[in-house]
Amino acid sequence: MRALRLARPAPIDHAPLQREDLPVPEPAPGEVLLRVRACAVCRTDLHLVEGDLHPPRLPLTPGHQVVAEVVAAGEGSPLPQGARVGVPWLGWTCGACAFCRRGEENLCPEARFTGFHYDGGFAEYLTADADFVFPLPEALSDEAAAPLLCAGIIGYRSLRRVDLAPGEALGLIGFGASAHLALPVARSWGCRVFVFTRSEAHRRLALQLGAAWAGGIDDAPPAELDRAILFAPTGDLVPPILERLRPGGTLAINAIHLSPIPSMPYALLYGERVVKSVAHATRQDGRDFLRLAGELGLRPTVRTYPLEDANQALADLRHSRLEAAAVLLP
């Protein structure tokens, strides 16, 4: 099978992903062998490829937003051949620790992740634990479903973590694949959404999707923010966001890797403002979001690439040349 593999991290413009021809993997008990139909590209993949994140082993096949078809099942797998499923970032948890027992499996210290601990979807085939894949809404094409499996799910968890209530004013900082899926969910709850982004194209897209306002971080939105979510991996943005957040408001930082947060006056945090991080997502987040996506008819804006162009897709993400989500098609 064809796979795009990372042997040594490097800047994405150096094309660190290299094609290899590998044997088709065998599913272990409880696993399924999956034929990849589409795999969306995520900023976490970029952090991995460029060396900001350090996987436990190399070489490795990235990719954790995978739409795939079951072609074989290991002993004990309940999934039938031919089933279409989604493979998310969370690939396995222990099920026994205090976090798992509390329903916080995203914080399990033994958790393993697709495209980080396990070979992921930048390939023609992969294996996955049958208990950690999702059925997908039939109305969604492969290309439309792929970005929902991380960008969509983690954006939905961010809305939960920020304690967004119907009718509130929400700020989204950075407008990539995750934010552009969080926006219509927030709008469905009757919220006004204000988008902060450097890109004029992203501002136009945000307004087309129903944002009440779109501008830069130095611009003043027409209302104070009740809640805000930082999607850009830039710690320097935290102080100006807090300046726009009302007392008692909440900022959630949705980033697996963030540059340092600068020193700032306590007055920006005073007034019972709250800062939270968003760490991965649970299977229940995935189930709830995919059900809601089907109800709302979410259709991500996507740009497709052949599998061999994975480096180009990540470079376009790195240099803000994408208006939404990149999807690889093997």
Name the nearest CA neighbour of 64 among 26, 12, 113, 25.
113
Strand 90-92 to strand 112-113: parallel, antiparallel, or no bridges (unpaired)? antiparallel
Q: Where in the chain is the domain with CATH 3.90.180.10?
A: 2-151+281-329
How far apart, in Å, do the first and last CA atoms of the chain sit? 10
Spell out the residues 6+ positions from residue 133 whose beta carbon is closer than 8 angstroms to its own: 32, 34, 79, 85, 86, 87, 88
pLDDT tens sequence across 196-239: 999 898 999 999 999 999 999 999 999 999 999 999 999 999 99
Work out the angle between the directed axes of helices 43-50 and 310-318 (0-180°, nearest 10). Answer: 100
pLDDT tens sequence across 44-100: 999 999 999 999 999 999 999 999 999 998 887 788 889 999 999 999 999 999 999
At 101, which helix (H) or strand (E)?
A: helix 98-101
The superfamily CATH assigns to domain 2-151+281-329 is: Medium-chain alcohol dehydrogenases, catalytic domain (3.90.180.10)
Q: What is the pTM of this model?
A: 0.92
Architecture field, domain 152-277: 3-Layer(aba) Sandwich (3.40)
Tell me the C-alpha distance between 236 and 270, whole Å. 19
Identify the DSSP state of 220: P
Q: Where in the chain is the domain with CATH 3.40.50.720?
A: 152-277
